[in-house]
Structure 1
Amino acid sequence: MELTSQIDVHLLRGCCLEAERSDLVAYQLEGWRNALNELSNPHLTAVIAEIKTGSRILRELADLSQVHRDRVPLILNPLNIILPCLSRSLRDITAHYEDRTRQKLKRWRHMYHTMTNEAGGLSLPGRFMAYNQYLSSLRDLLIRSPNFDLNMLEKLRRQIMQLREARGIPPPPIQIGPIARNDSLPYRDSDPESSRLQTFAALISLQNITDSTLGRAHLLPSPAVSDSSWMPSVSLGPHHPWGHLDIPINSKILFRRSFNDDQISLTVYRSGIDKSPYLLLRIFDQGTPWFSVRGAHELCIERDGSSLQFKRWSRTERRSKTWAVLHFMTWEELVLMHSTFLSLKARNGLTVRLGPEEYALCREHKLFQARVFDDGFKHSLIVYEDIATRGLRLHAAVWEGELRQCPVWTAFVTHQSASPTWLKRVSRHRVRLADVQLYVFCRQYRQQNQRRGAVGAFEINFVSEEAARRFEEVFYPPQGGPAAASTGV
């Protein structure tokens, strides 16, 4: 292996090592906070939060580097600057934590003031915030994000170099990668297909399943014996070490999602050669990252309770085998991942067949189905109810043709639907929803064409007057009782 490749592996493994060290230190500080009854201490809480954030970014850097291997040399020198400094800070915290000559409260206060003074007055939360901003800038540089700010990176670099000097850490001995040039810096990607696919990142993020968007996310019942215990996600491989996967250059990250407290991550990217989506799983084995990759066209998906199972075909055994099992805390997350995968697979030129059983998300009950005119297209609009959580969602899919049943958008019915003004029949064929958020899976679809008025009410135009009436009755049943399910109207 060439020297540069050895350095790549060493530094990127260093990211994983410091991520694990960060997890341990955060756990130690949480123990302090509980023992001291300092749950409301803003400084201690902030330090814990920043260390946990840094752990996630470090693992994300290692994951993304697998796809953007051609750009890894750009971040080698910056990593060589921050990793020794970050490691020293984490080890110093552990040393203070293990100092038995002081009581716990005095240990915490002594550590806080000592580490603040050695940083020239920069608070301990501020120190880790600077680390995280620096690591985030490296991530933006690696993936060529338009958010990358070279001036900010340089400002943070100087701050970290000053901290290294104050702690007696010698400067990096050698230049181990190229200095960033203007032609290697991020640019605004004008590729509309890339822009569409990048939006899937928002769909899979737990941070987007919030009270403000959903009213209340629906927790899925645990398949484990104890209600407080969740089955872990698993990746069954086969797996390969870092750098041993033939991922084409110019591949683009579509989204990344972590599981099991980031012990497993899923990165979906578009190949720089065939433009098809691929799923990359990362696990850890004794602290070393291992990877497994499959094209969306090579996998089949099905729901099993709170999990999604991805299966591959084994040529040697001539049978289907489970590639991964990903567990979700909420029904909303599970739905979004399922719909995203279906859209990627159905619109992939390498896909030979997508069976109707894959489109069906089991353990959902269909309350309603009808044809609608939606942004100039003929779609199927379905109302689903999840059996486990009783959650409701609207689901639009392609009505006919090669992409029939392919998801176009989905929207979760929140507590706003309890309002008598949420749904309004504005004509024989048209219904307006006052408050609904769409998660869109099709680049051609423009939901703004269905929005009406100053508040952006979403308008549904049914092919049949009867369908409009029965849709209204799903949410506002007549006094005689709930409307029966309607399909194909």
Structure 2
Amino acid sequence: MEPITPASVPVETQLLVGCCREADQADIVARGLDQLRAALSESFHGHLIALAEEIRDSSRLLRSLADSSHMHMTRVPFMTNYLEVLLPCLSRTLKDITVYYEDKTLSREIRWRKMYNKMTEEAGGLPLPQRFVLYNHFLSLLKLLLTRSPSFDLNTLETLRTRVSTLREQIGIPPVPHAGTLVRQSLLPLAAVQDRDSHWAEQIFSLPLPSRTALKHLRSSKSYGPFYPWGHLTIPQGSTVLFKRPFDNDTISIVVFLSSVDQCPYFLMRTIQNNTPWYSMFGAHELCIEREGSALQLKRWSRSEQCSKLWAALYFITWEEMVLFYCTFVALKARNLLTVQIHPNEFQLRREKRLFQAQIIDDGFKHSLIVYEDLQTRGLRLHAAVWEGELRQCPVWTAFVTHQSQSSTWLSRRSRHRVWLKDVQLYVFCNAYRQENMRQNKLGAFEIHFDREEAARRFRELFSIRSAASETSENEPVASSSV
């Protein structure tokens, strides 16, 4: 990959590259503060932890802003002058902190005291951690401005710009010579524009996880390209961001969006090389997915080499997040109008054992209900899929079976065909499905209506047996051994 030079790119791109560069530096500074804290007594830990966490938040916000800019290129000029105000100030703060904690002529305690007191004093009494709170509030508002969020407040942004400008003067940075104009009040109605109906994929990763089952043998995620610099990939104006997933402390990120031109999902991958962001993009219909250990591998077809090649290997910290990403990808691809065909193997997540399968009547549809057990983590989940037709096997929803299933009240059989589940959270992969129609009972429990009486019985027995086995193992005395 050829480096991006200042002379070859517009100022907007230079500033967004600067966001990524300062994000990397923020990560380095946060780690340095962690090392400093480890050498000091606990009385200093509170302020050091607060400062390091705010700096890490700055890193995340900077990368998120750079990633979102790719989806909203036409609005990047609106925030250019604000970035020109903020980035030099943030950069100077990070450099000053580095100078203090790397000063080997002083003891570590004196380094910290001098850093905190001097930098608080130069900022007119603003405590050092609060300086990053200011930066992060500023960055958060720029993200809202960029994405046309109805929560954006111009008055607050202008107030923060004034505070950061004052801070710049206090630490000796010259004022910004404004070449353009800041956001005008007349632009505010644009910020309130929203999609009429939200896509199901926008909700999947915003829901909390009911459990977090750690995966083993984690490695660094990898991206394989082909890559292009910022601004070289065409994303139609008005496209809808469905979700973003960061990997490896955001050194790689995947942004999934719905194109405003063909209403089909696309995957935009960003990686960092030599402090510079690089991008690669393919439609869901152009990619295939499979599990390899704790990673999901996304593959593309190489026309020049006439073979399948890795596009990304994404390692997940938890089994639940891996399952949600997998199901989301498969559902997006299966329901994509540009998808010619999808291999049956893509509907099956590797290293899962099928414990149960039956037909259910679910919100008026015929669905397959499957109980899967993950062979690596022993995690259980319920999985509903389309029973028949062109979308056969396409995921409709999944739900993770947590420790609450051990309760005697979690599952109850209400009739020959109906079973109720309490405390179960569904992740739905279809806009037409309405789970509230299956919760119309006095307990708000989720109702499963089996096509056959025998299936309802086997489903209940499955969990009764597992619950009994779990209780037996917990109550068994630990066998003593002689040495």
Same fold (TM > 0.5): yes
State which of 119, 122, 143 in structure 1 corresponds to 2:123: 119
Moved more, 80-89 or 150-159: 150-159
Distance in 2 separating the partners of 1:347 and 1:175: 47
Match of 1:275, SS state, is coil
Q: How big is each residue's C-alpha offset from its partner over 1:56-84, in whole Å with a ceiling of 9 and x where there is no partner?
A: 11111111111211111111011111101
Cα distance in 2, alignment partners of residues 82 and 324 from structure 1 = 33
Q: Secondary structure at the match of 1:308?
A: strand
Change (3 A) 1:478 1:37: closer
In 2, distance between residues paired with 1:399 and 1:349? 20
**1:337 CA drift (Å):** 0.3
> What is the CA deviation profile of residues 2-32 of structure 1, one whole-angstrom value per residue up to 9, with x for unaligned ones?
9996101110111011111101110110010
Matched letter for residue 376 of structure 1: G
Instruction: Kindly provide the amino acid, as one letter, of the partner of residue 303 in structure 1.
Output: R
* Partner in structure 1 of residue 305 of structure 2: 317
The code of the aligned residue for 2:232 comes to H
Alignment partners' CA distance in 2, 1:460 and 1:40? 55
Among all aligned residue pairs of Structure 1 and Structure 2, give the percentage whose two residues are the same amino acid.
Answer: 55
Determine helix, strand or coil for the equivalent of 1:48.
helix
The secondary structure found in structure 2 opposite 1:90 is: helix
1:447 aligns with 2:442: no
Whether the 8 Å contact between 1:75 and 1:177 is mirrored in structure 2 is: no
Q: How many angstroms apart in 2 are the aligned matches of 1:454 and 1:39?
A: 53
Is the counterpart of residue 66 in structure 1 residue 70 in structure 2? yes
Alignment partners' CA distance in 1, 2:12 and 2:193: 27
Equivalent pair of 2:422/2:446 in contact (CA under 8 Å)? yes
Q: Deviations over 1:266-291 (max 9, x none)?
A: 11111121111111111111111111
2:294 to 306, 315, 324: 306
Alignment deviations for residues 92-113 of structure 1 (CA, whole Å, 9 cap, x no partner): 1112112234211122122112
Equivalent position of 1:474 in the other structure: 462
- Corresponding position: 1:393 with 2:381: yes
**Is the contact between residue 33 and residue 39 of structure 1 (CA under 8 Å) also seen in structure 2?**
no
Q: Separation in 1 of the partners of 2:115 and 2:384?
A: 56
Tell me, in whole angstroms, the C-alpha distance in 2 between the residues paired with 1:386 and 1:131.
43
Matching of residue 219 in structure 1 with residue 214 in structure 2: yes
Counterpart Cα distance in 2 of 1:479 and 1:376: 31
Equivalent position to 2:194, from 189, 194, 218? 189
How far apart, in 2, do the equivalents of 1:340 and 1:479 lie?
30
CA distance in 2: counterparts of 1:9 and 1:139, whole angstroms: 16
The one of 92, 104, 107 equivalent to 1:100 is 104
1:169 matched to which residue of 2? 173
Task: Render the CA deviation track for 1:421-468: whole Å, top value 9, x for unaligned.
Answer: 110111111111111111111111111111244552111111111111
- Code of the residue aligned with 1:106 in structure 2: it is I
Q: Deviations over 1:117-172 (max 9, x none)?
A: 22232222211111111101111111122222223222222221221121122221
Read off the aligned partner of 2:75 and give its amino acid letter: R
Structure 1 residues 67, 478: CA separation in 2 closer, same or farther (over 3 Å shift)? Answer: closer
Partner of 2:452: 464
Q: What is the Cα deviation at residue 182 of structure 1?
A: 3.3
1:255 counterpart (243, 248, 251): 243
Contact kept? 1:73, 1:178, Cα under 8 Å: no
The one-letter amino acid paired with 2:151 is N
Task: Give the equivalent residue in structure 2 for 1:45.
Answer: 49
Stretch moving more, 427-436 or 107-116? 107-116
**TM-score between both structures, scaled by the size of structure 2:** 0.92
d(CA) in 1 for partners of 2:384, 2:454: 18
1:16 matched to 2:11? The reply is no
- Secondary structure of 1:117's aligned partner: helix
1:195: Cα distance to partner?
A: 4.2
The answer to whether the aligner puts 1:379 opposite 2:348 as a matched pair is no
Q: Give the direction of change, closer, same or farther, for the CA distance of 1:40–1:460 in structure 2 (3 Å limit).
A: farther
Q: TM-score, normalised by structure 1?
A: 0.91
- State the match for 2:224 in structure 1: 236
SS of equivalent residue, structure 1 residue 379: strand
Q: Is the 8 A contact 1:277 1:344 kept in 2?
A: yes
CA distance, structure 1, for counterparts of residue 179 and residue 203 of structure 2: 36
Matched, 1:160 2:148: no
Q: Report if the CA contact (8 A) 1:19-1:58 is conserved.
A: yes
Structure 1 unaligned spans of 5+: 223-229, 483-489
Q: Residue in 2 aligned with 1:485? A: none
How far apart are the structure 2 equivalents of 1:431 and 1:68?
Answer: 47
Given that residues 423 and 431 in structure 1 are in contact (C-alpha distance below 8 angstroms), is that contact kept between their aligned partners in structure 2? yes
Partner of 2:269: 281
> How many correspondences in the alignment?
465
Q: Distance in 1 between matches of 2:296 and 2:185?
A: 43
Match of 2:408 in 1: 420
**CA deviation after TM superposition for structure 1 residue 174, in Å:** 2.2
Give the unaligned 5+ runs of structure 2. Answer: 471-483
CA RMSD of superposed structures (Å): 2.2
